Amino acid sequence: MTTTSSTNPAVQAIIEGAAPHQARLAAASGLLPLPQSDLLEVLVALRQSEDLEIAAAAKATLDNQDPEDLLGAARSDETSVAVLDYLATHSQNSRQIQEAVIFNNKTSDQAIAGLAADTSDGSLLDLITINQQRLIRFPKIIDAILANSDRSAEAERRARETKREFFEKERGAQQIAQELRTRGKSAAAEFFESTDLTEGFSIEDAWLIAEHIEVSDADLDNSWLPSERYEELKIETPEEHAANFKRVLEFERIELGEVPAERVSLIRRIMFMNARDRMKLAMKGDREARSILIRDPNRVVATAVIHNPRVRDQEVENIAAMRTVADEVLRLIALNRNWARSYPIIHNLVRNPRTPIPTVISTLPRIRTKDLKHLAQNRNVPEATRRQALRLAQTRSGE
């Protein structure tokens, strides 16, 4: 299924293939009254339709778009990534449009690499090399610039300088860390300095992960992790990393449905980190990283998420309802005094079939009577939970 960034239900139905053929054809022909941003997203998606009539109509409509409208889309941070990537790689677009796409931070690194490889305009390569952060994050852009015979001397100089400084020196990661620290991103810098950049985890991977770091070492409390538990952070084989990735991705699909390609890429890079680095990321990462690592097969990594100082009650409430997390995580949530005072959290815990039975039994007395009655009839929870919920409800009702 193709994902869409538009919140318009009609647009979503058209792009995802749920709309009738005639409606999709009308959209591809530009006959539906859609805002320009939605129209472009629809056309870019439909030009790849398996229905040749729809694909041809979408391509023709795209070719006839007003260049000023395309330029406006290229400059807007509201434009979908798919549209920006199309504008970056579509050869007939004007230099103005491609320049705007280069400066738009939402344009994907892959699309910029494609533009760097294909353009014959050396001045565009000059503009691409100005964004050193993007070059470091996605070094294939550097390779594309250096392989382009139309590169200018200045573009070549910048590309080679960045490659030498960040990817050919022994202490490349430390160089990046120093750069991050000068920008005030100390938590990300700490991560770079301490991460094990093994053969399976590159600087490019580390850069992507560092963007999801928001907690510095000074804000951490490691008292929850006794030294003997470090033995559980054993070295994993490539096969185990691959299995971890597949498992977490499957859990994401169970909980959330279709997973966007960008999210899949992030999951892959996180799950191919070693267990110690995943634990550090769980304790220091942002909400997106935590939402992946809470499902980590390693219990130390998963439980590290709930010891992240940025975790909030709403997030814990969602975790308490997940059926793809370790029972140890749910038990520790119940033991936390602050979270145990939140009724939505404990209500989710007792309804979660993954919550350990002793934890459920000790929590049920705090559940409201009407919810106990519903729980007693809930076939998705263990029988022991239903029986105890019924017994408590009857006692309170004097039955």
pLDDT of residue 79: 92
pLDDT of residue 391: 94
Helix (H, G, I), strand (E, B) or coil at 285: strand
Q: Position 271: which residue type? A: M
CB count within 10 Å of CB 243 equals 14
Q: What Å distances lie between residue 306 and 212, 297, 300, 313, 388, CA to CA?
A: 16, 15, 11, 10, 28
Distance CA 364, CA 362 (A): 6
DSSP string, 336-369: -HHHHT-HHHHHHHHH-TTS-HHHHHHHGGGS-H
Helix (H, G, I), strand (E, B) or coil at 124: helix
Please check whether residue 191 is in contact with residue 212, taking contact to mean a CB–CB distance below 8 angstroms: no
Distance CA 293, CA 289 (A): 6
pLDDT of residue 170: 45
**Strand pairing partners for 213?**
285
Structure tokens at 152: 């200018």
Please check whether residue 191 is in contact with residue 284, taking contact to mean a CB–CB distance below 8 angstroms: yes
Q: Position 318: which residue type? A: N
Helix (H, G, I), strand (E, B) or coil at 234: coil
Distance CA 385, CA 389 (A): 6
For the CA atoms of the chain, what is the radius of gyration? Answer: 26
Q: Position 368: which residue type? A: R
Q: Is the pTM of this model over 0.85?
A: no
Distance CA 222, CA 107 (A): 38
Q: What Å distances lie between residue 399 and 69, 265, 391, 393, 394, CA to CA?
A: 71, 56, 9, 9, 5
3-state helix vs strand vs coil in the chain, percent to 5: 70, 0, 30
pLDDT tens for each residue of 250-260? 998 888 888 88
Q: What is the DSSP letter of 50?
A: S
**Strand pairing partners for 285?**
213
Query: Residue 294: phi, psi to the nearest 5?
Result: -65, -20
Q: What is the DSSP letter of 221?
A: -
Q: Is the dihedral of CA 11, 14, 19, 23 positive or negative?
A: positive
Q: Position 138: which residue type? A: F
Q: What is the CA 301 to chain-centroid distance, rounded?
A: 18
Q: What is the CA 117 to chain-centroid distance, rounded?
A: 27
pLDDT of residue 234: 83
pLDDT under 50 in the chain at which residues?
1, 169-170
